[in-house]
């Protein structure tokens, strides 16, 4: 009986050792960001000062075939913000199930021109015009790099408010040092059959020393009559040193509706990083918002962020 007990205890100890060898770890990181925002004078925004707080719980674990499971859960101001489950398959790429915005597919390429802060259309009334995105919550994704080529795929199976699935794919290439190119297409489902939107975007960036320039053209083919739009983005950034960057960008949205004029956006951004602290500012302006002549908008923001 004593020998049997010893065998049982040895087996239990071996089982626990094997389990702990594959046990994952959970890390918690956080950010605190103080923000001052100045909106267009025609808008009532209340107190211009605010603070954003965020926590990210990250877990990982190894599988016995060499793959890695990664999980993240993001809270913003004590409320759920996003979560992602990823399977890292090494040279075979990475599969994911995500609720976060822009994880894979065309949503991850809505604006790839360089910026030291926010996009030139960010936080303004017409920011959604001419931008290619599909649903985020419950989206299956895949991305991988194979030599000079890469791919990023997203698939949303549909659900309440969607007549069918949404899907997109982006192909990338790095044909030379400093050159990055991409082309993406997508099909975004609408509330009813044949009410979806065909998406496409292509562009590239070129980096030479401290300067990076980028150009991107996005087209939205909407099923509704005269609902199409097209956005052309161009921007350049300059790395003053390893801690400081500045950028300037412009974009133009052209509407298929002949009753509308072009929406023109522009913006300047600057950021400075010192250890775990980042000081950033941007100023964006938009003319003829939503294609309505004389309807303008603007926003200025200064922030100080700390990472823990």
pLDDT at 79: 80
pLDDT at 23: 54
pLDDT at 20: 46
Residue 234 CA neighbour count, 13 Å, CB half: 4
pLDDT at 138: 83
pLDDT at 266: 96
pLDDT at 254: 97
DSSP letter (8 states) at residue 162: B
Question: What length does the chain have?
Answer: 308
Q: Where are the domains of the chain?
A: 25-307
CA distance 28 to 73: 10
Tokens of 85: 């489950």
pLDDT 10s per residue in the chain (308 long)?
Answer: 444 334 344 443 444 444 444 555 789 999 999 999 988 877 766 788 989 888 999 999 989 999 999 999 888 887 878 888 999 999 999 999 987 667 899 999 999 999 999 999 998 888 989 999 887 678 899 999 999 999 999 998 876 666 788 899 999 999 999 999 999 999 988 777 777 899 999 999 999 999 999 999 999 999 888 889 999 999 999 999 999 999 999 999 999 999 999 999 999 999 999 999 999 999 999 999 999 999 999 999 999 999 98
pLDDT at 198: 93
CA distance 250 to 244: 21
Write down the pTM of the prediction: 0.85
Tokens of 33: 């960001």
Chain centroid to Cα 46, Å, comes to 28
pLDDT at 246: 98
DSSP letter (8 states) at residue 2: H
pLDDT at 135: 75
CA dihedral over 28, 34, 39, 44, signed as positive or negative: positive
Whether domain 25-307 has CATH 3.10.20.30: no
**What SS3 state is found at 60?**
strand
For 122, counting Cβ atoms within 10 Å of its Cβ (0-12 exposed, 13-18 middle, 19+ buried), the class is: middle
CA distance 28 to 75: 11
The helix/strand count (H/E) of the chain reads as 1, 16
CA distance 21 to 66: 13
CA distances, 124 to each of 23, 114, 279 (Å) = 46, 19, 21
Return the number of other C-beta atoms located less than 10 Å from residue 131's C-beta: 22
Q: Give 163's contacts (C-beta < 8 A, 6+ positions apart).
A: 189, 190, 191, 192, 193, 195, 196
Tokens of 24: 């994952």
Q: Which helix (H) or strand (E) holds 271?
A: strand 263-274
pLDDT at 228: 93
Contact 190, 163 (CB under 8 A): yes
Q: What is the bridge-based pairing of β-strands 179-188 and 94-98?
A: unpaired
């Amino acid at each position: 009986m004593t020998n049997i007990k010893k065998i049982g205890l040895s087996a239990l100890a071996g089982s626990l050792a094997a389990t702990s060898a594959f046990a994952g770890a959970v890390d918690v990181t956080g950010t605190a960001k103080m923000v001052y925002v100045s909106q267009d004078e025609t808008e009532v925004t209340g107190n211009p000062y605010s603070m954003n707080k965020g926590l990210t719980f990250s877990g990982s674990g190894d599988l016995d075939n060499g793959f890695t499971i990664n999980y993240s859960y993001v809270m913003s101001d004590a409320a759920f913000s996003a979560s992602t489950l990823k399977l890292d398959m090494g040279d075979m790429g990475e599969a994911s199930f995500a609720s976060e915005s822009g994880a894979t597919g065309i949503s991850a390429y809505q604006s790839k021109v360089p910026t030291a802060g926010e996009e030139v259309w960010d936080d303004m009334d017409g920011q959604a015009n001419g931008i290619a995105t599909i649903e985020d919550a419950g989206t299956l994704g895949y991305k991988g790099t194979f030599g000079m080529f890469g791919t990023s795929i997203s698939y949303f199976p549909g659900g309440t408010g969607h007549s069918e699935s949404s899907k997109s794919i982006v192909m990338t290439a790095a044909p030379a040092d400093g050159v990055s190119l991409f082309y993406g297409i997508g099909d975004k489902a609408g509330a009813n059959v044949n009410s979806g939107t065909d998406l496409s975007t292509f562009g590239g960036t070129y980096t030479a020393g401290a300067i990076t320039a980028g150009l991107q053209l996005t087209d939205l083919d909407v099923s509704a009559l005269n609902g199409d739009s097209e956005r052309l983005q161009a921007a350049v950034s300059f790395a003053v040193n390893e801690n400081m960057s500045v950028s300037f960008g412009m974009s133009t949205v052209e509407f298929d509706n002949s009753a509308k004029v072009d929406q023109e956006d522009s913006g300047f951004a600057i950021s400075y990083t010192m250890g775990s602290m980042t000081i950033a500012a941007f100023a964006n302006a938009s003319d003829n918002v939503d294609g309505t002549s004389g309807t303008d908008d603007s926003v200025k923001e200064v922030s100080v962020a700390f990472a823990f």
